[in-house]
Amino acid sequence: MEMLSKKATCKSHGQDSSYFLGWQEYEKNPFNEDRNPLGIIQMGLAENQLSFDLLESWLARNPDATMFGSNGGSIFKELALFQDYHGLQTFKTELVEFMAEIRRNKVRFDPQKLVLTAGATSANETLMFCLAEPGEAFLIPTPYYPGFDRDLKWRTGVKIVPIHCSSLNGFRITKAALDEAYDEALKLNLRVKGVFITNPSNPLGTTMNQDEFNHVISFAVSKNIHIVSDEIYAGTVFDSSKFTSIIEAIMDRNLEKTDIWSRIHVVSSLSKDLGLPGFRIGMIYSNNETLIAAATKMSSFGLVSSQTQYLLSKLLGDKKFTRHYIQENQRRLKKRQQVLVSGLQSYGIPCLKSNAGLFCWVDMRNLLSSNAFEAEMELWKKILYEVGLNISPGSSCHCTEPGWFRVCFANMSQETLNLSIHRLQAFVTSNGDGNYQNQKLSTRISRRNSLVVS
């Protein structure tokens, strides 16, 4: 008899992907300015380390967050005992206000419709458990975050059917692509339960535009399926006016009083906006009461530590701070992104034009030895082992075209970023001859002009 479960022995945890293998190589030989200056620079981790000084100075000004009030009274015991899966009310209230602030207050959220979870990882899995039976499917635009293979499919048994997006139109979702994905699911005998979008997109760094919203919403309405919108990067949009939440998009189309309203579910987290991935603060937001009731009960398997809920309720309750933080954080991210983009552009490596995220979607097709995923893997390994940069190959994000890489820029110092650009520059220069793409370079660049940052 097989001693462990099928889940334990299959590969659905997705950890054999190059996305994770690169991390492992980095762990073996991590760059450190002083101790290991020739080590691998981690550019595969979408973390936001740019604004910790703001958080730290808030902490220094606000000793109350230590769980002992200024008058010496302790709420330690209360917090230690608090295990109500409805969550700390003050925290949820502040959290929804913070979420609204990020969305320019175009959307107001009701804390009663919010479920707290141990990170967005848990939120996404919980949603799948609640919305689909094992063997049913969700459609997801490619390229997508590699972690979804584990989070959405592994223990739930739900399938992912890709909505193929192409560089020809900047990887935007089209009606044709949606229909094609749906048909593919039918061919595979899979019942489609919903569309799963990430907005802003990981790995693209782009926000969804009106056309895309029109396509996705009309599609979900006509097929009577769910829309899950992972908005974890909402706070990383460089310019707030450019981000539209799915909820706002539905309201703009006057669909609040229709069926689709109860089939819209938003996921978010404080891991990217505030740069606090260690604290495991995720959330599900939905107008579907039955879903909220079920998801709340399921959150028992991954609640947010009450100690952490309390700290964040204080932090987010300081509105002056949050307003300043949101703006300043966005400004720094934009600046950092520009450094990477212009640095790469200066020696002929374009990036997809993006306005959000902690990464760029970099076009290295002209560095491939052939237009194939094997060539992409070859290039990735060279960049990992010879150049000493862990970047994420597009294939690990299920991109249909070889040659694209996700490169993170917000998880390191300015100096380290400069160094990584310099290393890549040296690599490109030394590999300039004998590339397959060289001949076609001029044609490709002109076609791509509309897609890249000038």
Partner 1 sequence: MEFSLKNEQQQLLSKMATNDGHGENSPYFDGWKAYDSDPYHPTRNPNGVIQMGLAENQLCFDLIEEWVLNNPEASICTAEGANKFMEVAIYQDYHGLPEFRNAVAGFMEKVRGERVKFDPNRIVMSGGATGAHETLAFCLADPEDAFLVPTPYYPGFDRDLRWRTGIQLLPIVCHSSNDFKVTKESMEAAYQKAQEANIRVKGFLLNNPSNPLGTVLDRETLIDIVTFINDKNIHLICDEIYSATVFSQPEFISISEIIEHDVQCNRDLVHLVYSLSKDLGFPGFRVGILYSYNDAVVSCARKMSSFGLVSTQTQHLIASMLSDETFTDKIISTSSERLAARHGLFTRGLAQVGIGTLKSSAGLYFWMDLRRLLRESTFEAEMELWRIIIHEVKLNVSPGLSFHCSEPGWFRVCFANMDDESVRVALRRIHKFVLVQGKATEPTTPKSRCGSSKLQLSLSFRRLDERVMGSHMMSPHSPMASPLVRAT
Q: How far apart are the first and last CA of the chain?
A: 61
Under the binding rule (CB under 8 A), the answer on residue 119 touching partner 1 is: yes
Under the binding rule (CB under 8 A), the answer on residue 125 touching partner 1 is: yes
Q: Which of 149, 151, 230, 363 is catalytic?
A: 230
Under the binding rule (CB under 8 A), the answer on residue 223 touching partner 1 is: no
* Token couple for 444: 């490709």
232 is a catalytic site residue: yes
From 92-100, 108-116, 278-286, 422-430, span contacting partner 1 (CB under 8 A)? 278-286
Q: What is the largest CA-CA distance in the chain?
A: 73
230 is a catalytic site residue: yes
Out of 131, 349, 356, 362, the only residue in the binding site for partner 1 (CB under 8 A) is 131
Under the binding rule (CB under 8 A), the answer on residue 218 touching partner 1 is: no
Question: CB atoms < 10 A from the CB of 13, how many?
Answer: 15
Under the binding rule (CB under 8 A), the answer on residue 35 touching partner 1 is: no
- To the nearest 10°, report the CA torsion of 321, 323, 324, 326: 110
CB distance 68 to 76 below 8 Å: yes
Q: Which of 26, 145, 285, 310 is catalytic?
A: 145
From 80-88, 175-183, 338-346, 355-363, span contacting partner 1 (CB under 8 A)? 80-88
Which residue is it, tokens 């100096």? Answer: 415
What is the radius of gyration, based on Cα positions, of the chain?
22
What is the chain's percent helix, strand, coil content, to nearest 5? 50, 15, 35
Out of 28, 34, 71, 83, the only residue in the binding site for partner 1 (CB under 8 A) is 83
Q: How big is the site for partner 1, counted in residues (CB under 8 A)?
A: 70
**Least CB distance to partner 1 at residue 365 (A):** 32
10 Å CB burial of residue 39 (0-12, 13-18, 19+) is: middle
Under the binding rule (CB under 8 A), the answer on residue 272 touching partner 1 is: no
The DSSP output letter for 143 is S
Please, which residue, 164 or 280, has the CB nearer to partner 1?
280
Q: Which of 232, 292, 383, 391 is catalytic?
A: 232
Opening angle at CA 291, ends 289 and 295, nearest 5: 120
Q: C-alpha distances in angstroms, 398 versus 6, 145, 170, 214, 229? A: 24, 9, 16, 24, 19
Under the binding rule (CB under 8 A), the answer on residue 63 touching partner 1 is: yes
Please, which residue, 243 or 279, has the CB nearer to partner 1?
279
CB distance 282 to 268 below 8 Å: yes
Q: C-alpha distances in angstroms, 91 versus 122, 395, 408? A: 19, 39, 30
**Least CB distance to partner 1 at residue 117 (A):** 9
From 32-40, 49-57, 203-211, 245-253, span contacting partner 1 (CB under 8 A)? 49-57
* Token couple for 292: 């909220």
281 is a catalytic site residue: no
Under the binding rule (CB under 8 A), the answer on residue 262 touching partner 1 is: yes
Residues that bind partner 1 (CB under 8 A): 1, 3-9, 13, 15, 47, 49, 52, 55-56, 59-60, 63, 65-68, 74, 76-77, 79-83, 118-119, 121-122, 125, 129-133, 150-151, 155, 226, 262-263, 271, 275-280, 288, 290-291, 294-295, 297-298, 300-308, 311
By annotation, the residues acting in catalysis are: 145, 230, 232, 272
